[in-house]
A and B are shown apart, each in its own frame.
Chain A
């Protein structure tokens, strides 16, 4: 298990960064900067390494740094590896990005004041993950100041050992079922499993933090090069919803099961949740008036189901039958979210005939 996580932490994307032409004030224009960007890192953290390369040519003014890929402003709070997996169907090496030091598109991107903004966003996501896993944010909020600093430094520096040392105190656990590899290896002894376990150690129920990025196509394509370019964030459905794992005896909850459970509007018949009609409700969960349920959207899809064409996680495309617990334990990002880039082929809509 350590091996897979090491690969993830050591993963990096070669970037070729061009200064936007409107900000070049010298001749000849500067060469692009070449930099290896950690997959689990964030673009604004690269600025101190990039800026010296361009500072002599920048126009006067205050820096407000942002990046774009083929004109699409990049969301700085999404880890670099995920941006690459999402926006480059066919991986481009090096990845050509444009950096801007002026003219921040404040109507599209939320503000970023360098490392502090990224750290705040990271800690916030960590709190959210803690809430999803444990039902409260206490472990993150009660972190000592030195621990917080060490955790953040371990992420910036890509130091997995230091990260494990500090993050194990957060008790964010691992998903334990019989399909998770190396469940009882020594590095896990200090952790507890997500959710409740019965006497056999099999997980009964738990929530897994997920960020799902879905882009859909209408037609099949054989080559990734032919996949349509994403030129607007509106073409990506961003779904921030936890996966609920219900342990079932003898049944492996696969990656495909997890993805389908997050897209009930496309996969209405395959849902583990539907099987339980008498679910235990939380005390504070509100009742649903019956008249609202009757207004549900009628599915007008034909017998062609939607199809999951591609699931990319940390740059790899695992077989969809892979146990989801393994994916969670090994491919999760440092803030404890699993980011999934999914390409969905939409079902063919059958238009009813008027006979």
Chain B
């Protein structure tokens, strides 16, 4: 997340990008998730997108690839997840196909709870329709997440920890799991 506070006026606005990743393997059971090795990408300028190809499957024609972008909403002052999915041949997935591809339990639970909504909206920078995951009350449940941590109360939260914690909740809808080691590094 490159857009920091308003005082850093010389920074260029950008977003976090994770592209061409496979979130599920085709051999697994429907409700088990594989977690490909990935790292947090660094901040990217508007014009530069960093591609991270992680897993390559041998018969990957019907395995969806995902692009995930984390974009800061200046209106709501929280991060928002934009994503899209496409097959190996480039054919994009529509909303119904994506819904079927989402991990059954966690996604359904979160979407039914009305904490999260998936809508089709225009990507703020790329002028194309993407899917947006809109988590209601993000700032409220993020406060709850950090409420328990004594060191947070004393020292505040770094941007990285905020994003990792945020992603650990939001990512469940698309089946993105953060390895525990990443969270323990702080």
How far does the alpha carbon of A297 sit from the alpha carbon of B124 in the complex, in Å?
21
Q: B76, A265: Cβ atoms under 8 Å? A: no
Is A274 in contact with B74, judged by CB distance below 8 angstroms? no
Query: With A110-B121, A209-B75, A242-B75 known to touch, is A286 a contact of B7 (CB < 8 Å)?
Result: no
Residues of chain B lying within 8 A (CB to CB) of residue A292: 4, 159
Chain A residues whose C-beta falls within 8 Å of the C-beta of B159 in the assembled complex? 286-289, 292
> Which residues in chain B, 123-160, are within 8 Å of chain A measured between CB atoms?
124, 127-129, 139, 142-143, 146, 155-160
Query: B10, A296: Cβ atoms under 8 Å?
Result: yes
B11 located at the interface, meaning its Cβ lies under 8 Å from any Cβ of chain A in the complex: yes
* Interface residue? B120 (CB, 8 A): yes
- Contact flags A195-212 to B (C-beta < 8 A → 1, else 0): 000000000000001000
Contacts of A128 in B (CB 8 A): 75-76
Contact B76 A131 (CB under 8 A): yes
Q: Are A110 and B122 in contact (CB under 8 A)?
A: yes
Number of residues of chain B lying within 8 A (CB) of chain A: 34
Please classify the interface of chain B as helix (H, G, I), strand (E, B), loop, or mixed, using the class held by over half of its residues.
Answer: loop
Chain A residues whose C-beta falls within 8 Å of the C-beta of B74 in the assembled complex: 240-242
Task: Give the size range of A's interface with the partner.
Answer: 35 or more
Q: Per a CB cutoff under 8 Å, which of A240, A271, A286 touches B158?
A: A286
Answer yes or no: B12 CB below 8 A from chain A CBs: yes
Q: Contacting B7 at CB < 8 Å: which of A110, A234, A273, A299? A: A273
Contacts of B157 in A (CB 8 A): 286-287
Nearest opposing residue in chain A for B13, CB measure: A265
Main SS at interface, chain A: loop
Number of contacts between A and B (CB, 8 Å)?
88
B8 interface hit (Cβ, 8 Å): yes
Instruction: Determine the chain A residues whose CB is within 8 A of the CB of B128 once the complex forms.
Output: 107-108
Contacts of B58-110 to chain A: CB distance below 8 A: 74-77, 92
| Chain B residues with CB under 8 A of A279 | 5, 7
| In the bound complex, CA of A284 to CA of B77 (Å) | 10
Q: Which residues of A contact B12 (CB under 8 A)?
A: 265, 297
Distance in angstroms from B97 CB to nearest chain A CB is 14
Given the known inter-chain contacts A264-B10, A286-B162, A292-B4, please indicate yes or no for A109 contacting B129, CB distance below 8 A: yes
Taking a contact as CB atoms closer than 8 A, the residue among A109, A241, A288 that contacts B4 in the complex is A288
Task: Decide if A147 is an interface residue (CB 8 Å cutoff).
Answer: no
* B6 contacts A by Cβ under 8 Å: yes
Cross-interface CB contact of A234 among B77, B122, B127, cutoff 8 Å = B127
> Does B9 interact with chain A (Cβ within 8 Å)?
yes
A238 interface residue per 8 A CB criterion? yes
Which A residues have a C-beta under 8 Å from some C-beta of B? 75, 106-111, 128, 131-132, 209, 233-234, 238, 240-242, 244, 264-265, 268, 271, 273-274, 279, 283-289, 292-293, 295-299
For this complex, 6 residue pairs linking A to B, each with C-beta atoms less than 8 Å apart, are: A110-B121, A132-B75, A271-B6, A288-B8, A292-B4, A295-B43
A-contacting residues of B (Cβ < 8 Å)? Answer: 4-13, 43, 74-77, 92, 120-122, 124, 127-129, 139, 142-143, 146, 155-160, 162
